[in-house]
């Protein structure tokens, strides 16, 4: 487990108390913050109030089954991007396909192996962090596109007829770009650790 994982908040949803306890215990021992939920309805309430970083979700539950819970979570902006790993005794190919079709990120069959659960959880958390990093980089790069275009236009104008105002504008835009690139480099360096 990485240092980032110790900060991860995982919602475990299973109507069988023994499964809920085992998964919660395993993940807690690995340093994850774990919240258990024993029904699909409770999972939806908990998730809307405080979205987790990842959800381990049983399929066969009374009331709302795991497929329906996943569908509902994927309908909301606040919960759409949360990775969901289904954990189920259903091992039919069609059940697995349906799990992915409703938005599941992974699927583990019961009885589960502890090392496999931990590896899949860490893998999904890593992918989720990487998606967040890409979004953050994009958010920082996008505002730099317009100043870069302005800089090119000013340099082209300056080449035709130099003026002090154009040189001052170029220097200002260059400082904006430099500042943005320094921020971007810090973000990438921080995410790489």
Q: Assign 68 a pLDDT band (cuts: 50, 70, 90).
A: very high
Q: Do 100 and 150 share a domain, yes or no?
A: no
In a domain, 82, yes or no: yes
Which pLDDT value is given to residue 4?
46
Tens of pLDDT, residue by residue over 71-124, are 999 999 999 999 999 999 888 899 999 999 999 999 999 989 999 999 999 999
Q: Which residues does residue 37 pair with via DSSP β-bridges, in sequence order?
A: 13
Q: Do 160 and 85 share a domain, yes or no?
A: no
In a domain, 151, yes or no: yes
**Prediction pTM value:** 0.75
Q: Assign 192 a pLDDT band (cuts: 50, 70, 90).
A: low
Q: Do 10 and 87 share a domain, yes or no?
A: yes
Q: Do 141 and 65 share a domain, yes or no?
A: no
The beta-carbon contacts of 67-75 under 8 Å, at least 24 apart in sequence, are: 67/98, 67/99, 67/102, 68/40, 69/13, 69/40, 69/43, 69/44, 70/99, 70/102, 70/103, 70/104, 71/102, 71/103, 72/44, 73/44, 73/47, 73/103, 74/102, 74/103
Q: Which of 77, 112, 147 is where one domain is finished? A: 112
- Reference 53, options 4, 86, 16; nearest CA is 4
Domain extent at residue 98: 3-112
Q: Which of 97, 112, 127 is where one domain is finished? A: 112
Which pLDDT value is given to residue 140?
77
Q: Do 71 and 107 share a domain, yes or no?
A: yes
Q: To which residue do tokens 């309430």 refer? A: 45
Per the structure, the count of domains in the chain is 2
Q: Do 21 and 106 share a domain, yes or no?
A: yes
Q: Do 11 and 105 share a domain, yes or no?
A: yes
How many other C-beta atoms can be found within 10 angstroms of the C-beta atom of residue 146?
A: 11
Report whether pLDDT(151) > 50: yes
Q: Do 143 and 80 share a domain, yes or no?
A: no
Whether the CB-CB separation of 68 and 95 falls below 8 Å is answered with no
Q: Do 10 and 80 share a domain, yes or no?
A: yes
Q: Do 97 and 165 share a domain, yes or no?
A: no
Tens of pLDDT, residue by residue over 27-53, are 999 999 999 999 999 999 999 999 999
- Reference 43, options 5, 8, 10, 87; nearest CA is 10
Report whether pLDDT(153) > 90: no
In a domain, 162, yes or no: yes
DSSP H stretches of helix in 104-163: 114-160
Q: Check residues 122 and 179 and name the one with the higher pLDDT.
A: 122
Span 126-145, average pLDDT: 81
CATH number of the domain at 37, please: 3.40.50.2300
In a domain, 128, yes or no: no
SS3 readout for 26-51: HHHHCCCEEEEECCHHHHHHHHHHCC
């Amino acid at each position: 487990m990485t240092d980032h994982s110790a900060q991860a908040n995982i919602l475990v949803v299973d109507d069988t108390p023994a499964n809920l306890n085992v998964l919660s215990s395993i993940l807690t021992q690995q340093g994850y913050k774990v919240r258990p939920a024993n029904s699909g309805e409770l999972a939806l309430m908990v998730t809307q109030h405080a979205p987790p970083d990842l959800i381990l979700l049983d399929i066969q539950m009374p009331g709302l089954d795991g497929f329906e819970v996943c569908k509902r979570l994927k309908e909301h902006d606040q919960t759409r991007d949360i990775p969901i790993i289904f954990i189920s005794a259903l091992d039919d190919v069609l059940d697995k396909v349906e799990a992915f079709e409703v938005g599941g990120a992974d699927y583990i069959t019961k009885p589960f192996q502890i090392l496999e659960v931990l590896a899949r959880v860490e893998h999904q958390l890593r992918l989720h962090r990487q998606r967040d990093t890409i979004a953050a980089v994009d958010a920082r790069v996008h505002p730099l596109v317009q100043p870069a275009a302005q800089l090119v236009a000013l340099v082209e104008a300056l080449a035709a007829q130099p003026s002090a105002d154009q040189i001052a504008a170029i220097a200002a835009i260059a400082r904006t770009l430099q500042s943005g690139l320094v921020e971007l480099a810090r973000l990438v360096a921080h995410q790489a650790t």
